[in-house]
Structure formats: C-alpha cells, structure tokens
C-alpha cells in the first residue's frame, strides 16, 4: 500500500494552448458492419432513418459533440475509386473489398451519402484520398467535385447527381498507411508521391483544405524524419554572381503544403491477439502499459518534428488509435467486431488525457472505429443499439473540446504487477470559455483506490464541484444487448473542498470527470 496520497498541482495561470475539439474525432471505414448494417441501413429500412442513415446513431453521436469523421478508410481508402460511389445507386458498379474479407461492396454509401452524414452530425468531413492504387487526376477531380462552385466538368457532374452547391471540406489525407496496405512504399517513395499528389489538391471557391500526410506506424521515427525534412525543412538559396542577394530557389515558391502528419498506433499484441472480454490482471496490466506507451510515441515523434518545425505549425494527427483484440467468436474474422469493456474505457481515458496534454502538437485524433469495428463507441444488432464504455468516456471528456489546457504536475505512487510498474494516476485538466475547470482522471490499478489531493494555484475560491464516475464491479464488465446499461457514468459526491484544495478517493479501475466553478 502507498505511504502518501497522490498530489496534483494545477497552475491556473499558465494555460497557453487550446485543446482542439478535433482531438475527439472518429473514423468510419468500409469494414465489416461499420457502414452497412451500422451507419447505413438504406432508405427502405424499417429502422428509422434519414435518407438511409440511422437516426438513433446520429442522435447518439451529436450528444458527444462529434467534431470530425474520417472516411472511407483505412486500408479501404487506397482501393477506393470515388466515381464508383456517385450517381443512381442501382447503376453503381460493385467491387471486391480485398482488404476486409473479400466481400462484395455495392458502393451504395459514397460521397453524397458521407457528406450528408456529416451534415446531419454537424461535423467536419475528413476524407482520405487514394494514393496506393489511384491517380493524381482522380484525386484532383474528387476535390473539384466536392468543393468547386462554378462551371466545370466535375462541378457539373455533382449538380447532375443532385447537389447544386459545393460542400465545405476542411481535412484531406494524401493516402493511408502507404508503408503497408497503401502500397508497401519506402518513405522516400511516399514523400515523392505526397509532393506530387498534394500539388493538385487545390483550394476552390474559398474552400481551404488542410493537407495531411501519411505518417509513421508506431515508433518509425525515420518515417517522420524524412517527411518533415522533405516537406517542411529549411532550404538553401541559390548563389548568383550577378546579383547582390542570392536568388531564392523554386522550392521557396512551390514548397509542399503540409498541415498534418498522421500517426497510427493500436493497443494490441500483434503476436497473440487476445479476447476482448476473457482476461485477468496480467492482460489488464499489459494493455494499460500499451496504452501509456502513447505518451512515449507522441513525445519522441514531436521531438523529430520540432527539429524541422520549431514553431509547431505542422500538427501531429493520431488518426488511427484504439484497442485491438481477436474478433468475437462466431463473427467474420476480417470484420474486426469486438466487445468493449471497462478496460477499453480506461484505454480511451488514458489516450485522451495524453492527447490533451500534448495539444501544442496534437491537433486531431480519430479513434478506430465508430460502430461495430475494433474499439467502437456503438454496437448494433438489427434495430437495437447499445453504447459502449468507450462512448461514455467520450461523453464525459467532451468538456475539454476547445478549452484551454491547464498544466498538471502529478506526484503519484506506482501500480505494480508482475515485476512492472505504472503511475497509478493519469490525468488532464482544462478551463472552458465560461471559466469552469475540468479535470479528468484514470485510476489504472484494478484493485486499490487512491487518495487524491488537487492543489489549485489561483486567486479565486472554488464555489461548487460536480463529478461523475465510470467504473464497474469487474475488469471485464461490458454492456450487452440483454443488459445495455451495466456500465454508465453515475454521480460522484464524495469530494471535499477546503480553500483551493480538492480531495477525494479515486476508486480502482475508474474514470472520473470533475467540474469546478469559481
């Protein structure tokens, strides 16, 4: 047992960086039942829908203030040819989804359906373009189709298909995992393609696109180094003997545009995928370790980026993250359908706290995936729908969106198991635009509670406190269609305030959200 309580020091005067709402982004790929029999049921479905999109899912996602949605992949993106997914649905060609089960894809959910979904959700679309098997022209025409407000072949085609005005498109990814399923490229090859393809991703009709490069897998720091060096590095000037000052190179005028660099990391054991629900403390501890490893990855990739971009103009985009287990028994092995337990709630809380604390560099993230795939927020069976523990964490943490990060110094004991150790407390804090302070904490120890004392350095007294907690009796408890509310947030009242000290006991294996007013 510990000798001292954990101490959290919050300096309210040092808030400098804003936690972008886009850190709380999501991801929907043509994989398993994420799109079909998930988001999309078709206009003729008895399940209540708006133009084929499930109403209950839209309502649930709007409740967590979904800020952006990445589509159509993932690996699927580099096999997707967007013109197959426009026009009358009965005329759209079928394709084989070679990445995810070799099932037939009918292309009924395409560009218009996705953009309609984003409008219903009131969120930003994040489209991932095809570099692996696509052409520069194909990508250029897609952007023109989406965003050009005028007379052109692609704009006229869009109008013919029922959309008069262009859409707003803020985020566009130039390929996905091009080191793997997106073409097995070396980084030097990908950089040349990025520089070429991004040139033709144009800004039309006042729409400004933030271009995102395929970044590294996990700890591939060489990939980050080369992309940053070749797309953002300082360039020498050309000497010219007839001029007093050197003439700038063409690079100064045509430097590639790079708003963000992707990073993909999953909490998984590649050599031994394990059950999402059948585990004991050894696998609890292993996956907590793997979740906390995100801190090291972001820190080290940020150091590489700082060499070429000390002003942090290029964002680190963690556009695939989450837990990955073996598929549920009896389901298609390539549909990646898995249950979602209290362990996944802790994994989500840990990662979101890490992203918040690195918001000077991390500007967007996308958990994988939205529905029925990997660490899903929502699971469906026919007309039924359940919210997972991960969904509830996103709902509890939504208060951080576009709030100012408050730096925290944490002194805590270690959670020790099997010769390893981890800090028991993981946390982040922010102040919203109304002046309220929000603190989110995770207790990684599944057995022991932790006494917490928060010391707030500020000149205003705390007037009220509200808190909610997410926990369960067992590590592997989950919501099911028979018992859909076994895990959900409840009010947490046992908090003491004395001057600017806040103290409470944080139960084992829990996620806590605290709101302070002054």
> What pLDDT digit, counting tens, does each position of 24-35 carry?
999 999 999 999
* Res. 360 pLDDT band, cuts 50 70 90: very high
Residues 335, 123: Cα–Cα separation, whole Å? 26
Q: Is the pLDDT of residue 346 over 60?
A: yes
Average pLDDT, the chain: 95
Q: Is the pLDDT of residue 1 over 80?
A: no
Residues 325, 337: Cα–Cα separation, whole Å? 9
Q: pLDDT tens digits for 453-472?
A: 999 987 788 999 999 999 99
What domains can be seen in the chain, in order of their start residue? 19-235+253-402 (3.20.20.80), 407-517 (2.60.40.1180)
| Residue from 394, 320, 400 nearest 357 by CA | 400
pLDDT above 90: percentage of residues in the chain = 92
Q: Is the pLDDT of residue 188 over 60?
A: yes
Residues 461, 499: Cα–Cα separation, whole Å? 6
CB neighbours of 421 closer than 8 A, spacing ≥ 6? Answer: 414, 415
Q: pLDDT tens digits for 283-293?
A: 999 999 999 99
Q: pLDDT tens digits for 208-267?
A: 999 999 999 999 999 999 999 999 865 434 444 455 555 555 555 566 799 999 999 999
CB neighbours of 75 closer than 8 A, spacing ≥ 6? Answer: 29, 99, 100, 176, 177, 180, 181, 182
Torsion angle, CA of 347/350/355/356, rounded to 10 degrees?
140
Residues 102, 231: Cα–Cα separation, whole Å? 36
**124 assigned to active site:** no
pTM of the model: 0.95
Q: pLDDT tens digits for 431-440?
A: 999 999 999 9
Rg of the Cα atoms in the chain: 24
pLDDT at 499: 87
* CA dist 79 → 84, 132, 302, 415, 477 (Å): 11, 7, 31, 44, 37
Q: How far is CA 18 from the centre of its chain?
A: 17
Residues 408, 454: Cα–Cα separation, whole Å? 10
Choose, from 177, 230, 395, 450, the residue flagged as catalytic: 177
* Tokens, residue 481: 């269609």
**320 assigned to active site:** yes
Q: Are 305 and 263 in contact (CB under 8 A)?
A: no
pLDDT at 235: 47
Residues 394, 24: Cα–Cα separation, whole Å? 7
Q: What angle do CA 35, 41, 44 make, to 5 degrees?
A: 155
Average pLDDT rounded to a whole number, residues 265-270: 95
Residue 99: φ, ψ to 5°: -80, -35
Choose, from 144, 230, 320, 450, the residue flagged as catalytic: 320
Q: How far is CA 315 from the centre of its chain?
A: 13
Residues 319, 368: Cα–Cα separation, whole Å? 8
Residue 400: φ, ψ to 5°: -80, -15
Q: Are 118 and 72 in contact (CB under 8 A)?
A: no
pLDDT at 324: 98
How, if at all, do strands 315-323 and 260-267 pair? parallel
* Tokens, residue 305: 């980026």
Residue 281's CB is within 10 A of a number of other CB atoms, namely 12
Average pLDDT rounded to a whole number, residues 204-211: 97
Residues 58, 109: Cα–Cα separation, whole Å? 16
Q: pLDDT tens digits for 308-322?
A: 999 999 999 999 999
Q: Are 440 and 353 in contact (CB under 8 A)?
A: yes
pLDDT at 459: 75
* CA dist 224 → 195, 262, 303, 344, 466 (Å): 15, 9, 10, 28, 42
Average pLDDT rounded to a whole number, residues 172-178: 98
pLDDT at 238: 44
* Res. 329 pLDDT band, cuts 50 70 90: very high
Q: Are 510 and 476 in contact (CB under 8 A)?
A: no
Residues 340, 338: Cα–Cα separation, whole Å? 7
pLDDT above 70: percentage of residues in the chain = 95
Average pLDDT rounded to a whole number, residues 423-428: 98
Residues 483, 390: Cα–Cα separation, whole Å? 16
Which residue, chain included where needed, has tokens 């590489």?
A: 304
Neighbour-count burial for 230-268, b at 16+ CB within 10 Å, e otherwise = bbbeeeeeeeeeeeeeeeeeeeeeeebbbbbbbbbbbbb
Residues 397, 333: Cα–Cα separation, whole Å? 32
Q: pLDDT tens digits for 129-141?
A: 999 999 999 999 9
Average pLDDT rounded to a whole number, residues 319-329: 98
Residue 329's CB is within 10 A of a number of other CB atoms, namely 7
pLDDT at 256: 78
């Amino acid at each position: 047992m510990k000798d001292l309580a954990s101490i959290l020091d919050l300096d309210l005067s040092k808030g400098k960086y804003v936690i972008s709402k886009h850190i709380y982004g999501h991801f929907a790929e043509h994989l398993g039942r994420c799109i079909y029999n998930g988001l999309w049921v078709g206009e003729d479905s008895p399940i209540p829908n708006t133009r084929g999109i499930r109403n209950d899912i839209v309502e649930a996602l709007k409740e967590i203030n979904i800020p952006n949605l990445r589509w159509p992949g993932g690996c699927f993106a580099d096999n997707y040819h967007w013109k197959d997914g426009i026009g009358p649905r009965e005329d759209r060609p079928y394709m084989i989804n070679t990445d995810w089960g070799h099932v037939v894809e009918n292309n009924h959910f395409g560009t218009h359906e996705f953009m309609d979904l984003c409008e219903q959700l009131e969120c930003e679309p994040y489209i991932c373009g095809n570099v692996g098997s696509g052409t520069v022209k194909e990508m250029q025409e897609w952007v023109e189709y989406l965003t050009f407000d005028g007379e052109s072949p692609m704009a006229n085609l869009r109008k013919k298909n029922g959309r008069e005005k262009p859409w707003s498109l803020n985020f566009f990814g130039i390929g996905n995992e091009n080191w793997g399923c997106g073409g097995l490229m070396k980084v030097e090859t990908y950089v040349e393609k990025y520089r070429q393809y991004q040139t033709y991703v144009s800004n039309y009709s006042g729409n400004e696109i933030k271009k995102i490069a395929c970044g590294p897998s996990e700890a591939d720091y060489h990939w980050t180094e080369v992309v940053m060096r070749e797309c953002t590095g300082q360039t020498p000037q050309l000497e010219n003997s007839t001029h007093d000052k050197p003439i700038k190179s063409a690079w100064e005028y045509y430097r590639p545009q790079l708003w963000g660099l992707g990073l993909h990391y999953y909490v998984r054991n590649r050599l031994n995928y394990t059950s999402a629900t059948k585990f004991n403390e050894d696998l609890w501890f292993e996956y907590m370790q793997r979740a906390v490893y995100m801190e090291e990855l972001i820190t080290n990739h940020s150091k590489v980026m700082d060499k070429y971009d000390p002003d942090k103009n290029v964002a680190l985009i963690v556009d695939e993250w989450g837990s990955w287990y073996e598929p549920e028994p009896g389901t298609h092995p390539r549909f990646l359908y898995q249950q979602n337990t209290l362990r996944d709630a802790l994994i989500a809380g840990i990662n979101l706290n890490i992203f918040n604390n690195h918001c000077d560099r991390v500007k967007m993230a996308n958990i994988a995936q939205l529905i029925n795939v990997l660490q899903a927020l929502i699971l469906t069976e026919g007309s039924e729908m359940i919210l997972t523990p991960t969904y509830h964490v996103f709902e509890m943490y939504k208060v951080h969106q576009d709030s100012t990060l408050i730096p925290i110094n944490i002194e805590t004991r270690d959670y020790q198991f099997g010769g390893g150790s981890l800090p028991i407390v993981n946390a982040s804090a922010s102040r919203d635009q109304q002046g309220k302070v929000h603190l989110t904490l995770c207790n990684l120890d599944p057995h022991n509670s932790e006494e917490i004392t928060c010391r707030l350095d500020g000149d205003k007294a705390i007037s009220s406190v509200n808190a909610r907690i997410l926990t369960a009796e067992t590590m592997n408890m989950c919501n099911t269609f028979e018992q859909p509310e076994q895990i959900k947030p409840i009010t947490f009242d046992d908090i003491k305030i004395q001057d600017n000290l806040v103290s409470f006991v944080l139960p084992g294996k829990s996620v806590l959200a605290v709101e302070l007013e002054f």
